[in-house]
Chains A and B, each alone.
Chain A
């Protein structure tokens, strides 16, 4: 970044909106947009990575600030970073979903005393079921979690959904909402002190743009 801040930018669903935000802040994101193999853009002060790696880079100070989803932060609560701003975009819902029509979750709860839940977010899922007083067996899967209840691997899933389309295309329906997730601006705790002026200035400009 032109004022000496390194920013961790998430590739994936938040990528386009994040680059638009950086454009509005006066960064040159041309090269980032035109080159989707390259990861480090020293001139612009941008490093790109998968969203779940952003807190790691920021915690260790490899990037001063970063942008990632609230879902990522909830899943990695041990990461010691400042959460400075809700950027508002990338809005998704973390939900419990199950096969349409047959109440597999309720059935398992009543007869077996526990539910089996497939998810890419084991922390958020176990926390949610613990909070609501239910015993859950969490099955961690890496991708296409919609498949898990269709094959009988699990009774339901915990996953992030924006429109619900992938769920309904796989005959799943939302049973419970857990939490709304949006993009967040995070900062390294040491940079937050040693580069306070630059970070505050940036936060001020984003806030002004948000309102």
Chain B
């Protein structure tokens, strides 16, 4: 008789486990060497805590009652628990804090979609410093850690989570008409986006900007293409931020491994500035992602700017196995 496990979860047998361990060890060693100390937080949190971090994080996943009737939830990402931990355990401790983790997070999955219900994330958080230098450190370290885990062709996509909102602000698009646009963007539906923009009745250069910006991706030259008379005026802060970050990445000699993508959006709403995703040509999904979240730790009562990145170990493993086959 076969005793099933829930779809999207898995048993790991020794051959695979050895390889997964090698990857988490390589990533962890790279983080440790760069001064990122490993932390551990519980898989179960109070639902209120997750909700404080991000309404979406509380909406997904699994809830249960404890013996006092409190609502517990399985964490759906690692950053919110780390933010909660920093605001409570490190209160009064001067930054910067460099923390890393390796642990499981959980989310609800669609039946038959092949998504993981339980997934192992290794990642890092740099808490304290503002500005491009900190983000360049995080991105460069993630790239190096993946090198050491055996990847060779991985790239980081870089965008700004606030850019599109800033453009809509600047063009004075009314609040109730923004949601459909942002929704199209997060569903990656550029066809409906264009139709919805047409309906706004904006002048043609503004229409052009709203339709073209999400399609802009490539090297540093992308910033110049977005920096027309209108775009530059509206989105100066976001574009200047990305420009400074590209410069900081160039200093670390990793700029050529970074693809600017002005249409990049991340699911979670706690990002306040630059957002990142990691890609490898061997895997059709992003290997991980992150960004700057300057307000998240403040929601737990200890305002500190921060940025970080999480990698999906199982997907890194798929990329690493593909890389080995190429050699």
Asked if chains A and B come from one complex, the reply is yes
A141, CB-defined interface residue at 8 Å? no
Q: Would you give the shortest CB distance from A129 to chain B, in whole angstroms?
A: 21
Which stretch, B2-10, B235-243, B283-291, touches the partner chain A?
B283-291
A59 to B261, CA, bound (A): 19
Q: Which residues of B contact A189 (CB under 8 A)?
A: 188, 284-286
In the complex with contacts A59-B284, A60-B284, A193-B217 CB distance below 8 A: yes
Q: Which residues of B contact A61 (CB under 8 A)?
A: 283-285
Q: Would you give the shortest CB distance from A69 to chain B, in whole angstroms?
A: 13
A193 touches B191 (CB 8 A): no
Q: Which residue from A77, A85, A190 sits with its C-beta under 8 Å from B284?
A: A190
Q: Which residue from A59, A62, A81, A193 sits with its C-beta under 8 Å from B155?
A: A193
Q: Which residues of B contact A201 (CB under 8 A)?
A: none
B281 touches A194 (CB 8 A): yes
B61, CB-defined interface residue at 8 Å? no
C-beta contact mask, B58-86 vs A, less than 8 Å → 1, else 0? 00000000000000000000000000000
B283 touches A82 (CB 8 A): no
A206 to B76, CA, bound (A): 40
A78 to B187, CA, bound (A): 9
Closest B residue to A64 by CB, please name it.
B284
B281 touches A81 (CB 8 A): no
A60 to B282, CA, bound (A): 10
Q: Which residues of B contact A192 (CB under 8 A)?
A: 217
A194 touches B259 (CB 8 A): yes
A61 to B319, CA, bound (A): 13
A77 to B192, CA, bound (A): 14
A200, CB-defined interface residue at 8 Å? yes
Q: Which residues of B contact A75 (CB under 8 A)?
A: none
Q: Would you give the shortest CB distance from B280 to chain A, in whole angstroms?
A: 8
A53 to B284, CA, bound (A): 16
A120, CB-defined interface residue at 8 Å? no
A93, CB-defined interface residue at 8 Å? no
A83 touches B284 (CB 8 A): no
A188 to B281, CA, bound (A): 11
Closest A residue to B278 by CB, please name it.
A190
B189 touches A62 (CB 8 A): no
B273, CB-defined interface residue at 8 Å? no
Q: Would you give the shortest CB distance from A58 to chain B, in whole angstroms?
A: 8
Q: Which residue from A77, A80, A196 sits with its C-beta under 8 Å from B259?
A: A196
Q: Which residue from A81, A84, A190, A197 sits with its C-beta under 8 Å from B286?
A: A190
Closest A residue to B193 by CB, please name it.
A83
B224, CB-defined interface residue at 8 Å? no
Most A Cβ at <10 Å: residue of B155, B191, B277, B280: B191
Q: Which residues of A contact B192 (CB under 8 A)?
A: 83
Closest A residue to B110 by CB, please name it.
A78
In the complex with contacts A82-B188, A82-B190, A193-B279 CB distance below 8 A: yes
A78 to B182, CA, bound (A): 17
A188 to B259, CA, bound (A): 16
Q: Would you give the shortest CB distance from A14 to chain B, in whole angstroms?
A: 16
Q: Which residue from A84, A188, A197 sits with its C-beta under 8 Å from B218?
A: A197
Q: Which residues of B contact A191 (CB under 8 A)?
A: 284
A99, CB-defined interface residue at 8 Å? no
C-beta contact mask, A51-73 vs B, less than 8 Å → 1, else 0? 00000000111100000000000
B284 touches A84 (CB 8 A): no
A209 to B157, CA, bound (A): 30
Q: Which residue from A78, A85, A190, A196 sits with its C-beta under 8 Å from B191?
A: A85
Closest A residue to B214 by CB, please name it.
A82
Closest B residue to A82 by CB, please name it.
B188
A184, CB-defined interface residue at 8 Å? yes
List, sorted by A's number, 23 A–B pairs whose CB atoms are closer than 8 Å: A60-B285, A61-B283, A61-B284, A61-B285, A77-B187, A83-B187, A83-B188, A83-B191, A85-B190, A85-B191, A184-B191, A188-B284, A189-B284, A190-B279, A190-B281, A190-B286, A193-B259, A193-B261, A193-B277, A194-B155, A194-B259, A197-B218, A200-B215
Residues of chain B having any CB pair with chain A under 8 Å: 110, 113-114, 155, 157, 187-192, 215, 217-218, 259, 261, 277, 279-281, 283-286
